[in-house]
């Protein structure tokens, strides 16, 4: 569904761990492009595509062993959970470009040594020091 706002209503759209994981990106990215004025900024954070590849559903934790294929992980139906969407980096780039965005930055979040998380367990925090578990995209509407 379309957001209840007119075209080109905003200079900034921000999303944190929501739209990019639980809404089909081929629906929400064009909608963000519609809502932004030319030059407007879209910033969002969420899980990296790598997190899903290493996630062990049975143990409900991240592992150091690949569990899924990188290609074809676009839509995942979690047992007794939500449908999740994950794009690879190349797919994100093509989607942004197709909707008139230029990429300003991709931050692959890495917790510093000694960092503690109230959200993730120690296993996940240690994992995220080796591979990017979270990402922050910064794209601008041309």
From first to last of the 142 residues of the chain, give the pLDDT tens digit. 789 999 999 999 999 987 778 899 999 999 999 999 999 999 999 999 998 899 898 888 899 999 988 888 788 887 788 888 989 999 999 999 999 999 999 999 999 988 887 766 788 889 999 999 999 999 999 9
Helix 25-35 × helix 89-98 angle, to 10°: 40
What is the predicted pLDDT for the residue at 120? 65
Give every CB contact of residue 84 below 8 A, 6+ residues apart in sequence: 21, 22, 52, 75, 76, 77, 78
Q: What is the DSSP string of 86-142?
A: ---HHHHHHHHHHTTEEEEEEEEE-PPTT---SSS-HHHHHHHHHS--EEEEEEEE-
What is the predicted pLDDT for the residue at 86? 87
Closest by alpha carbon to 43, among 115, 140, 114, 142? 140
What is the predicted pLDDT for the residue at 79? 75
Burial 91-113 (b: 16+ CB within 10 A, else e): bbbebbeebebeeeeeeeeebee
pTM of the model: 0.90
């Amino acid at each position: 569904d379309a957001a209840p706002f007119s075209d080109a209503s905003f200079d900034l759209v921000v999303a944190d761990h929501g739209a990019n994981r639980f809404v089909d990106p081929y629906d929400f990215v064009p909608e963000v492009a519609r809502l932004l004025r030319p030059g407007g900024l879209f910033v969002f954070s969420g899980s990296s595509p790598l997190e899903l590849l290493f996630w062990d559903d049975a143990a409900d934790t991240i592992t150091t062993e690949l569990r899924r294929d990188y290609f074809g992980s676009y839509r995942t139906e979690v047992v007794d959970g939500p449908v999740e969407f994950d794009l690879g980096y190349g797919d994100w780039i093509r989607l942004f470009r197709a909707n008139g965005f230029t990429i300003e930055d991709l931050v692959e979040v890495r917790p510093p040594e000694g960092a503690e998380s109230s959200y993730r367990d120690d296993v996940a925090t240690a994992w995220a020091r080796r591979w990017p578990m979270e990402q922050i995209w910064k794209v601008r509407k041309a």
